[in-house]
Amino acid sequence: MTKPLRIIVSCVVGVATFLTLLLLGMSIVQVTHTHDWFFTFLQMQILFMPMVLFLLLLAFSSGVVFFFILGYCQRMVLKPIEQPLQNLAAGKYDFKITKPSIDYQPMHGIQEDIQMIRDKLQMVSKELQLSNAQPKLFNGQTKEQILTEERHRLARELHDSVSQELFAAMMLLSAMNEQARKKQVEENQQKQLTMITDIITTAQSEMRALLLHLRPVNLEGKSLKTGIEQLLIELQSKVTIQIRWQIADLHLPTIIEDQLFRVVQELLSNTLRHAKAQELEVYLNEVNQQIQLRFIDDGIGFDISKEKAGSYGLTNIRERIQGVGGTVKIISFNNQGTSVEIKVPIFKEGNVSDDSSAISR
Interval 284-301: pLDDT, tens: 999 888 899 999 999 888
Q: Which pLDDT score, from 0 to 100, does residue 138 have?
A: 65
Q: Which pLDDT score, from 0 to 100, does residue 360 have?
A: 42
SS (H, E, C) 1-34: CCHHHHHHHHHHHHHHHHHHHHHHHHHHHHHHCC
pTM: 0.55
Domain ranges of the chain: 3-128, 135-217, 221-347
Burial call 32-46: b when 16+ CB within 10 Å, e when fewer? eeeeebeeebeeeee
Closest CA to 347 of 325, 330, 331: 325
Q: Which residues contact 107 (CB under 8 A, 6 or more apart)?
A: 77, 80, 81, 100
> Which pairing describes strands 279-286 and 242-247: parallel, antiparallel, or unpaired?
parallel
Instruction: List, for the chain, all residue ranges whose pLDDT scores fall below the cut of 70.
Output: 1, 33-34, 90-108, 129, 132-145, 147-148, 209, 212-213, 215-218, 306-313, 348-361
Q: Which pLDDT score, from 0 to 100, does residue 281 have?
A: 94
Q: Which pLDDT score, from 0 to 100, does residue 181 have?
A: 78
Give the three-state DSSP class for 349.
coil
Question: Rounded to an integer, what is the distance from CA 193 to the centroid of its chain?
Answer: 45
Contact 258, 143 (CB under 8 A): no
pLDDT tens digits, residue range 200-248? Answer: 887 877 777 677 667 655 677 788 999 899 888 888 877 778 899 999 9
CATH code at 221-347: 3.30.565.10
Q: Which residues contact 78 (CB under 8 A, 6 or more apart)?
A: none
Give the three-state DSSP class for 248.
coil
Q: Which pLDDT score, from 0 to 100, does residue 247 have?
A: 93
